[in-house]
Amino acid sequence: MSVAFAQFDEPLAWLIRGLVEYGWVDVSRGAAVPPGSFGGFDLSFIPESQARSGLLLRIPATAGGQRHHEDDTYTFEVQLASLNSGSGFTVRCANCNYLQEFGFDPDNPGWVAGYIHQGLSEYVPEYVRWRLGGGELTWAQRQGVPEVESEPCTASLATWIGQQLQLQQTFDATLWGAGRMAVGAAVGDPGTPLSPIATVGNLGAAAGGGQSPADGVRATLKGPANALMAAIGLGGIGAALALLNILVTIALFGLDRKFAVITSMGFAAIASVGAAGAWFGVKQYKEMRGNALPWVAIIYPSILPICCFAGLPLSLWAGIRWQAPAVKAIRATRQ
């Protein structure tokens, strides 16, 4: 297949075709993205600017059937760019703190739309869940997403798109007939899936970072998680000392001091079994999933005599972070 549609085989033409193949709809005449579609593309700015203003992607602010009505819809600017690896696209949305480059492969021209589709279909729902959980971007973060210098498409493609828009032509599969493009696999190997695509945007980070919304929320749990691990370590040391105390007591006094032996055995049992459960709980705590085990890890420091005075505020701190709206929103998607 030598052309995307009509006589055009340039990157922007292949991107438009690929978006249609991946289920994006044409909203160039101001229509809303229909229910059931992930997003729509708007070509209305391409004719006058020769694509320097970019192709716009409009994505409803929804995740898991919930909509963030304040944000309503996110607009991503897709612009032609000259990358280190050759031609490609930059995808930018300051309101989502997102900026990412996607390379164009002339040997597999349909792949770039797949890269962009997968990148956004992973990032936007995660971002919406973060917003529904109370996350807010600062003005500085929005301003920190730099403007991108765009490359033009050919004048003939920009003119042709303008003519189709004037004719009220909808950009869909009728542009190139009924045939479907093999966008999901390498040429000659239709069974090979695409490898992991580009990294997602940089929520809550300086421009050029690589954090996703989950990464930003996970960072708020890092301090409590490290403190819980320290408490588990103290608990393990306490259990070992209790066992040593049992052996020394029996060696020196036999079974004459049963109370000391029994209390040491009880402490060793609670500390060791609790430490094992808490260790698995901290792993789930860091991953923002699970129900019972994370609470075992949270409560564990407060019941250890060896660190109860420091353990109680630690448990309160870890529990408050665990119940934060942003954390709960992500946990709800990982049950």
Provide the residue ranges of all domains of the chain, joining segments of one domain with +.
11-211, 216-332
Q: Is the pTM of this model over 0.85?
A: no
Q: How far apart are CA 264 and CA 328, in angstroms?
A: 38
pLDDT computed for residue 171 by the predictor: 92
pLDDT computed for residue 177 by the predictor: 63
pLDDT computed for residue 194 by the predictor: 34
Cβ(89)–Cβ(19) below 8 Å: no
pLDDT computed for residue 77 by the predictor: 94
Query: Taking Cα atoms as reference points, which of 214, 198, 190, 157 lies closest to residue 5?
Result: 157
Q: Residues in the chain with pLDDT < 50?
A: 178-212
* H, E, C per residue of 137-189: CCHHHHHCCCCCCCCCCCHHHHHHHHHHHHCCCCCCHHHCCCCCCCCCCECCE
Q: What is the distance of C-alpha 101 from the center of its chain?
A: 16
